[in-house]
Amino acid sequence: MYQTLYRKYRPKNFDSVVGQDVVVQTLKNSIKNSKINHAYIFFGPRGVGKTSIAKIFARTVNCDKQDGNICDECDKCISSKSNECLDIIEIDAASNNGVDEIRELRDKVNLVPSELKYKVYIIDEVHMLTIQAFNALLKTLEEPPAHVIFILATTDPQKVPETIISRCQCFSFDRISNNDIISNLKNICKEEKIEIDDETLESIAEMSNGGMRDSIGMLDKLFAYCGNKITYNDFIKVNKIVSTKEVDSFIDLVYKNNINEVITKIDEWNSTGVNVTQLLEMMLNSLKNIIISSITGKSEYEDSNKLIKLSNLINENLFDIKKSSNPKIYIEIMLLGFINDYQIISREIISEEKSTKIVDKKESKIKKSPEIVEKKIEEPKIEPKEEEKEESNIDEIMNIRLNNAFATANKQELEKDKEKFNKLNDYTFDQEIGYLVCSLLDSKLRVSSEDYLVISYEYDSMVQENIKLLKKLTDVLKEKIDITKKISIISDELWEKEKKKYVTMLKNKEKYEIIEEPELIINKKTKKETNKNNIINDFGDIVEVE
């Protein structure tokens, strides 16, 4: 019968263990110096050697030579190697996690070993035991017989009670480095006569995330699919991922705010069965390398801050994406929101640059004419008239709408509006309104009534940007999801303050009074600088321009 590679090449002694040098050396020294503890706990990620080292330690501690490694020659080593050995007991706590199983173990502990010096109990996934089972194990761990050693292994030490951990000698197992994984895989390939290139080995090591068992299992799968010759294209095909070059090209599309190409690429990958969450993990790795190159001046990307923000965005949402019922949509909305935010920033920067150039030109003209400069110095500064200063009552209107929403708040309306907002996901890729839809989906629905809707954003800058789009946002809600309400756009900070005020008023049995909303008025500095068309485009017919 075929034996899988990870079982075939599982370490047989301490010298064949890869990547856990500190743990191995400590255990070897404890055996050499006869300083053997009665209980150990091994914790760390899956596939890094916890159970393998536990089995090696169980055999080594019973070896007659006691030189820190298995001799494989003495009677004890031969006996412990047999599957029929009764003195090395492995227990899977995931399926034997009840108090009855632990009580049975406790009763058998006092029995002396049948063949070996020590009776060793290896309890795998110990965090799966129930509280009652832990309590039953506690007394035995505290005062075990001299011939018994316990080795507990877990991937989740936080779930093991402190009372158990404090009675054990703890060993933390690290993720195995990519170099160690690649070196071990090369040795296996040499033994199995497998042809494989370095790029594929590096990709296997990267995808295994520090787990030796996972990397060998991946190699085994490729071996089964390809035979004795494995290429990088085979690795991509079997694991449903994309090449590093394609990932780098995709990052370039996002960096350049190319919405259409980004969406097209995601659709293409999704239709061919590419694992989109795995794609994000590859993006993080590529972004790390690009950011390092960008900071050191060896990259074509000038804005390293944008790359850092993209990597932080992916990292923050990766867990939720993995748990999402539709990760593709989640990723698309996330990237569209990121691109939309940067498009707004880019427009602002261009506008500022144009203004700066105009000012620079004026200053250069003045410098060329000394007489004008002298005259300017002599002239007193004239403050603009009060009526010519820029004014707007938009903030007042937002506050009035917030007040009126609280006065007429209806929980059922809020639930209905939340359901309607979900339908906006159908329009995120619309070339005309996609950015508006993303802005609405980025908001939080706070209060709703028959006539009013309150939404909030995390930052004041986002509030101000969306207030400028008030008319367009209102039209999208009306045309696409049939919400015809007056919108109030506020910050999360203001919402928290107003919510506390609302709760206090409810407790005091006070009520909000409806406030009549004035017309929106925007005054610019001079009539020449007023662009009436732009204001109407932003706010609609309700604007009065003076």
pLDDT in tens, 313-323: 888 888 888 77
Fold for 178-239, please state it.
Helicase, Ruva Protein; domain 3 (1.10.8)
Tens-digit pLDDT profile for residues 19-39: 888 988 898 888 888 888 888
**Residue boundaries of the structural domains of the chain:** 5-172, 178-239, 244-382, 391-544
Tens-digit pLDDT profile for residues 173-202: 888 888 889 999 999 998 888 888 888 888
Task: Please report the pLDDT score of residue 487 as a whole number.
Answer: 92
Task: Please report the pLDDT score of residue 377 as a whole number.
Answer: 40
Task: Please report the pLDDT score of residue 488 as a whole number.
Answer: 92
Which architecture, in CATH terms, is 244-382?
A: Up-down Bundle (1.20)
Residue 7 to residue 1: CA distance in whole angstroms: 13
Give the model's confidence band at 366: pLDDT under 50 very low, under 70 low, under 90 confident, else very high. very low
In the β-sheet with 486-491, what is the strand arrangement from edge to edge?
444-448, 452-457, 486-491
Q: Quote the percentage of the chain above a pLDDT of 90.
A: 4
Q: Are 48 and 55 in contact (CB under 8 A)?
A: no
Q: Are 412 and 376 in contact (CB under 8 A)?
A: no
How would you classify residue 161: left for phi > 0, otherwise alpha for psi between -120 and 50, otherwise beta?
beta
pTM of the model: 0.57
Does an H or E element contain 56, and which? helix 50-60
CA-CA distances (angstroms) from residue 114 to 36, 49, 546? Answer: 20, 28, 100
Of 82-86, 308-312, 542-546, where does the model show the most confidence? 308-312
User: Looking at the predicted structure, is the pLDDT value of residue 376 above 70?
Assistant: no
Residue 222 C-alpha from the chain's centroid: 28
Residue 273 C-alpha from the chain's centroid: 22
Task: Please report the pLDDT score of residue 370 as a whole number.
Answer: 46
Instruction: Work out the angle at residue 124's Cα, subtended by the Cα atoms of residues 123 and 128, and round it to the nearest 5 degrees.
Output: 100
Give the model's confidence band at 207: pLDDT under 50 very low, under 70 low, under 90 confident, else very high. confident
Task: Please report the pLDDT score of residue 371 as a whole number.
Answer: 43
Fold for 5-172, please state it.
Rossmann fold (3.40.50)
